[in-house]
Amino acid sequence: MGNALNVGIIGAGKISGAYATTFDRLSTVALTRVADLDAGRAAALAAEHPGVLAATPDELLAADDVDVVLNLTVPQAHAAVTLAAIAAGKHVYVEKPLAATTAEARTVLAAAAQAGRAVGCAPDTVLGTGVQTARASVAAGDIGTPIAATAFMVTPGHERWHPAPEFYYQPGGGPILDMGPYYLTALVTLLGPVRRVTGMSSTPRPTRTVGAGPRAGTVIPVQVATHVTGVLEHASGALTTLMMSFDVWDARLPRIEVYGTEGTLSLPDPNGFDGPVRLFAATGGEWVEVPERAGYRDASRGFGVADLGRALRTGTPHRASGELAFHILDVMECLLAAADTGAAVEVASTCEIPDLVPFGAGPDDE
């Protein structure tokens, strides 16, 4: 394995295969072990990747050949698994959100700081050429001073395709905590941290029906808001209008647009790593595609783990950091609180905007 960062996955669910496939092509990251409460799922994932061992969670945490625990459990278990990994002396990278609540997330970051361990958190999609090219364009002044943005994520619900969708509709789930991290991390990267939010929400349907897999037809309860709208006031003064929903069949809305004094930027889906960034400049009078100018090329899920490895090797900040993820979780929690109370809510946390990702460099050679 050489100097590779050894990674153990806890949680061999649907997304784990994407991470494992990425690690197969990165020279500085090596997947060594996989664990899951369902031993069969762990064994199946391990079997697809030569040299990887299936283990129990306790065995993985005790293993000497695991430097970083990749926590891919359901959101309600994120804090407990992360704290166990830190207690075992491991660095941790967590699927979004960092924890189910900011109270849990605060405990995680405090434990990591005391133990001298690093905590990273998805999404790492923001490290790809899509968002990073847009960020470079904003920094270059292509749209002048940013004054506003819009962000829309609408779907009829994940139960149509996911065989076990309950966690999407339980506390810690919903469109904000599930998909919000992709959009909000992109927005904070472009416009800076958020200082105040307002919002409204609704839960139009009290139940959902599983549409795929062996449990198709099973009715599950909905315990969270499934349609959320809000306005975010960034510390920079820019205002973002946000709508996230599991109640919309289809729409022709942009994913993210940023509006400035001298033009507009239109971004690709922040749930992906790349895609065209389009610019309408006041002096140009028409939409043009912005050439890629920043971001990891051909990135995929797992590049954030590799970037954590780069940070550990070089002593520089990790871009998909626990601090950034905490701010994003705080913003989401404040937005839901604002929707519940009908009042604007101040966001107590803040964060540094991560360094721009150099164009074309991979975390292996940056």
Mean pLDDT calculated for residue range 138-146: 97
Check if the beta carbon of residue 169 is closer than 8 Å to that of residue 223.
Answer: yes
Three-state SS string over 105-159 comes to: HHHHHHHHHHHCCCEEECCCHHHEHHHHHHHHHHHCCCCCCEEEEEEEEECCCHH
- State the pLDDT at residue 173: 85
Q: Which token pair is 302?
A: 């797992």
Contact of 248 with 156, CB cutoff 8 Å: yes
May I ask the CATH class of domain 5-121? Answer: alpha beta
Kindly give, in sequence order, each residue whose CB lies less than 8 Å from that of residue 123, ignoring residues fewer than 6 positions away. 96, 181, 182, 185, 270, 271, 304, 320
147 pLDDT exceeds 80? yes
pLDDT at 186: 98
Confidence of residue 192 (pLDDT cuts 50, 70, 90): very high
Q: pTM for the whole thing?
A: 0.94
pLDDT at 353 over 90: yes
Residues of the chain with CATH 3.30.360.10: 127-290
- Is 50 exceeded by the pLDDT of residue 1? no
pLDDT of residue 366: 67
Question: 41 near 69, Cβ under 8 Å?
Answer: no
Euclidean distance between CA atoms 196 and 230, whole angstroms: 11
Round to whole Å and give the CA distance between 263 and 110: 42
Percent of the chain topping pLDDT 90 = 92
* Mean pLDDT in residue range 281-302: 95
Question: What topology is assigned to 127-290 in CATH?
Answer: Dihydrodipicolinate Reductase; domain 2 (3.30.360)
322, 121 in Cβ contact below 8 A? yes
pLDDT of residue 49: 96
Q: Where in the chain is the domain with CATH 3.40.50.720?
A: 5-121
Q: How many CB atoms lie within 10 A of CB 40?
A: 10
Mean pLDDT of 61-79: 96
* pLDDT for res 171: 83
Please name the residue that has the structure tokens 């690690």: 23
